[in-house]
Chains A and B, each alone.
Chain A
Amino acid sequence: QKEVEQDPGPLSVPEGAIVSLNCTYSNSAFQYFMWYRQYSRKGPELLMYTYSSGNKEDGRFTAQVDKSSKYISLFIRDSQPSDSATYLCAMSSGGGSQGNLIFGKGTKLSVKP
C-alpha cells in the first residue's frame, strides 16, 4: 500500500460546480497536510496548508483533514476554467526537516466553460 493514495482522475466538471478532491494516507505520523496546484509545464504552487486536523478556508478553497480516518479533502466552490490543473496532495511528519514531502500522484481537473 502506498503511503498516500489519490485518484488520478481525470475529473471534468462544468463551470460553477463544486469540486471535491481527496487523498487517503496510511502513515499516522503525518501532521502537515498541503494541497498544491500544478499547471501544465509549471512547478507546483502551494494552495492550502493545514496542520493536524480541522478545516481551513481561503476564498473559494476549503481544506479538510480528518486524522482519525486518515483522509484529507480539498473543496473548490464556484469552479472556474482557470482552476483546470492537476491538484496534488502532500504531507509530512514534520519535525526537524520537512524536506521529504510525500505526494499523491495528483488529480487532473478540467473545468468546462
Chain B
Amino acid sequence: KAGVTQTPRYLIKTRGQQVTLSCSPISGHRSVSWYQQTPGQGLQFLFEYFSETQRNKGNFPGRFSGRQFSNSRSEMNVSTLELGDSALYLCASSPTGGGTDTQYFGPGTRLTVL
C-alpha cells in the first residue's frame, strides 16, 4: 500500500505571496490532519479534515486554511506569507481519525519564505 504523499517537497516563496500544498492520504483513509513543524515550536496541529469537513482546528491565524476533496485528498493554503511561516508542513492520514487510529505521516513539504 502506498504511503502518504505530499507535493511539492520543497518550496521557496517571498513574503506576501500565497502557497498551496497538497496531500494524498493512504488509500482508504478518510481523515487527514496537517501539522507545522519548526525548530522553536516543534510539531503543532493545524487542522483535521474528515469526509470533506473540517472537524478540528488548531490555534493558527485565518491565513491558514485547508480543504478536502471527495477522494480524501487534501490541500492547505497559506495566504500573505510571513517569514515565520517557514517550516516543514506535515500531513498525516488515518482511517477515521478516531481515538484508536494510528496516524501515518507523509515526508512533508519544506516551505522557505524569503
Closest CB in chain B relative to A23 CB, distance in Å = 12
B48 within 8 A of A: yes
How far, in Å, is A75 (CB) from chain B's closest CB? 21
Q: Is the CB of A98 within 8 A of B45?
A: no
B104 at the interface (CB under 8 A from A): yes
Segment of A55-63, A64-72, A76-84, A99-107 in the binding face = A99-107
Q: What's the Cα separation between A101 and B36 when bound, in Å?
A: 12
Which secondary structure characterizes the binding site on chain A?
loop
A residues in contact with B100, CB < 8 Å: 32, 51, 94, 98
Residue of A nearest to B110 (CB): A41
What does the 1/0 interface line of A33-53 toward B look like (CB < 8 Å)?
Answer: 000100001111110010100
Measured between beta carbons, the chain A residues less than 8 angstroms from B79 are none
Q: Find out whether the CB atom of B42 lies under 8 angstroms from the CB atom of A97.
A: no
User: What number of A-B contacts does a CB cutoff of 8 Å give?
Assistant: 79
Q: Answer whether residue A31 sits at the interface, using C-beta atoms and an 8 A cutoff.
A: yes
**Size class of the contact patch on chain B:** 20 to 34
- Report A22 CB to chain B, min CB distance, Å: 16
Q: Which of B43, B97, B101 contacts A44 (CB 8 A)?
A: B43
Least distance between A3 CB and chain B CB atoms (Å): 11
Size category, A interface: 20 to 34
User: Quick check: is B80 within 8 A (CB to CB) of the other chain?
Assistant: no
Among A43, A49, A97, the residue within 8 A (CB) of B56 is: A97
Q: Does B26 lie at the interface of the complex (its beta carbon under 8 Å from any beta carbon of A)?
A: no
Q: Give the chain A neighbours of B56 by CB distance below 8 A.
A: 97, 99-100
Question: Is residue B106 contacting chain A, with contact meaning CB distance below 8 A?
Answer: yes
Complex Cα spacing A41 to B35, Å: 15
Contact A46:B102 (CB < 8 A) given known A97-B48, A99-B48, A105-B42: yes
Spell out B's residues near A (CB within 8 Å). 4, 31, 33, 35, 41-45, 47-48, 50, 55-56, 58, 90, 92, 94, 97-108
